[in-house]
Structure 1
Amino acid sequence: MSSSGSELDRHIARLHGNGRLRVWSLIITFFGDAVALRGGRVALSTLQDAMGLLDIEPGAVRTALSRLAGEGWVEREREGRLSFYKLTDQGRATFDEPTKRIYASAGSDWDGEWTVAIEAQDTSNRLGEHGFITLGGKAWLRVGGDASGLPDDLLVISGTGSDLPTPLLSLWKLDDHAAHYTDFITNWQAFGAPENLSPGDAMAARTLLLHDWRRIVLRDPALPDVLLPAGWIGHKARKLVRQTYHGLLQGSENWLNDNGLPAQTDPGALEQRFNVLRNIAN
């Protein structure tokens, strides 16, 4: 067995050893990463095969899809005896902003603007995945003045503020985020040569890689470089995920082709993810 193959087994074991497995979240990862660029619709059997690569039972996939359908993420279509699933309009809209953050190739520039959002009632951490941090109560703060894609039940105020006092950087809990990035690097830097994996193993590894990355990067407030500490560990983690993703693409795309998914609707969109056509040594 190759080093990458044994590392994949370790990652699958880690997935199942991290408490209760959130199959619905893995399905969302697979939809956003693999299905969205191929028409956004996939057969139930293909979803079960994809999750089977991660040692997830078909019954668990059906249960997770029922939950996602009930919450408005996906909808089912029937063709004879076959079932297909696709993202709803709500599901697609929810993907748009996180997708930009997941596949960004580098840190963001900053024009000096901030956005404050105020909720009418506490709705848990829904704004966290939009890059906001809580200021206490129902007020949230985000770097940048673009308010597009936010829920329409907010009071949103955008504009240029004063220079950020250094003590206020503690609001972003950068030490916690740095620890998550360090764990990610520890888990994935020994993966070896992903180009040597079989198509099925490449698809499994790609899903696990993006699942791990998505959960970390969407909790990161995405501060611009000018506000980050020198040598920010998140940049090293992003370079690692870009290199590994690049190495997994050919095999995993072959798996998708062999398992009946339609051709990519926009091949250029895949190439733009992490700027995979760039020299990955950069």
Structure 2
Amino acid sequence: MILVTGASGYVGGAVLRRLSQGGHAVSAMVRNLGRAAEVEDAGAPIRIANYDEPASLERAFLGVDRLVFVASDGHARAVMRHHANVIDAAATAGVGHVIFMSIIDIEASSGFYFTPVYRDAERRLLASGMKWTILRCGLYADLILSHWIRPALASGEMALPVGDARVAPIARDDVAEAMAAVAAEGRDGTIHELTGSIACSFEEIAAAAARVFGRPIRYTASLPADYLAWAWGEMSDPWPHAFSSLCKSIEEGRYARVCGDVERLLGRPATRFEDFLMRTRPAT
């Protein structure tokens, strides 16, 4: 049996639906009954467990052959603790194979806020004795849209401290489809890198958004201090530091790499960024 954590979230929910529709024996893990209502349409059994309650995790993981582990989000210390609790509970419960969603920005030299969190989780997983598969995700196209393009549709300017860096955006739907494919196949001991098939400059990203949404948008390379000051005025902790350090990683070229693993897993290229934007455009 396959268990999907984070099933009430976007990626976890999409993985759950794909596996359920494919006829696989799959269950959903959510934090509480309120969240359970959000995944009932997938038609899969539901298990309740909390990342901060190891005993509940151990109960939820009993009888699980493959665990699709979509991590939580929030403060780095809490996420690191959640990772450790899930991996320890899975090993205790006898889970056979953990499929873990990590990040491509994993090098020790990175200053990204979440890099130490995911490095620690990967280390724990490899030392756990369980079979494992790791999917390292690039920069979400959905993040670029929601946090940088949509505000720019009103202002006309996308100001970021990333210089002339390039990124290879990956749609969350492609990530979910790849995770479902790995979970269905069950092959272990592999690290996949999930990126878009084209590395785009931010000038190209702004131009694509302008074409799709029919509004003028320009990219401006801002100063890191100016972006951080703006972020502190718009976001709650820890997100100003998280986004500022993400921009630094982007500027250092850590998200520019293009990998063909999505095509190898899905039999098709990753969704082009402009095609992704077209899907999000309101119907006219």
Note whether the superposition's TM-score is higher than 0.5. Answer: no
TM-score (norm. length: structure 2)? 0.25
